[in-house]
Amino acid sequence: MAYNVLIVDDSATMRALVRKVLKISGLDLGECFEGANGLEALEILKENWIDLVLSDLHMPEMDGAALVKALRQNNLWQTIPVVLITTEGRQEVLAPFLENGVQAYIRKPFRPEDIKEKLQSILGEAWVPHAGELEGCDF
């Protein structure tokens, strides 16, 4: 199964980096969509089938917390796995998200391997590893 992924981050550079890491990670990647905040993410969700959301937490307009809440309140979207990719590392801030439907978080700064390991643990059999997939990448 090819996974359609939605990357939500207000930094275009960070979205490009995450997209690049996903491509070399071994995930069976379908289409990759990008939104700069929660509002843009919701518009993309209305128009496209999304299998996985990778979202920043601190964003203007509509932040990651509001996006997660909107996803969990919508019958169509409530089962989509959500992984936070965030600078936030304080457990007291992150714990409520993990208790309310966020599958995992990846703290920035991260290594490409961090994203791979986290997605592997969430997606399980969807993973299609390729030999040396992270070897020799110029990341």
Partner 1 sequence: MLENLKAATFEVLETMFFIFPEGLEEAANLFHGPGLRAWVPLVGPKNFRIGLTLPVSLAREMAANFLGLEKDEVPPDRMEDVVKETANMVAGSFLTKEQVPEAYNLKPPEALRLDLDAQDWQENSHHLLLAVEDAGLEVFLEKTK
| Chain residues in the site for partner 1 (CB under 8 A) | 10-14, 16-17, 20, 58-60, 86-90, 92-93, 107-111, 137-139
> Residue 31 or 61: which CB sits closer to partner 1?
61
Whole-number minimum distance, CB 60 to partner 1, in Å? Answer: 5
Distance, CA of 121 to CA of 16 (rounded, Å) = 23
> Residue 77 or 88: which CB sits closer to partner 1?
88
Whole-number minimum distance, CB 45 to partner 1, in Å? Answer: 22
Whole-number minimum distance, CB 11 to partner 1, in Å? Answer: 5
Q: Hey, is 84 helix, strand or coil?
A: strand
Residue whose C-alpha is closest to residue 138's, from 9, 13, 17, 35: 17
Whole-number minimum distance, CB 61 to partner 1, in Å? Answer: 10
> Residue 109 or 124: which CB sits closer to partner 1?
109
Instruction: Tell how many helices (H) and how many strands (E) occur in the chain.
Output: 5, 5
> Residue 76 or 93: which CB sits closer to partner 1?
93
User: Which tokens hold the place of 85?
Assistant: 């990719």
Which residues, 6+ apart, have CB-to-CB distance to 25 below 8 Å?
A: 112, 115, 116, 119, 133, 134
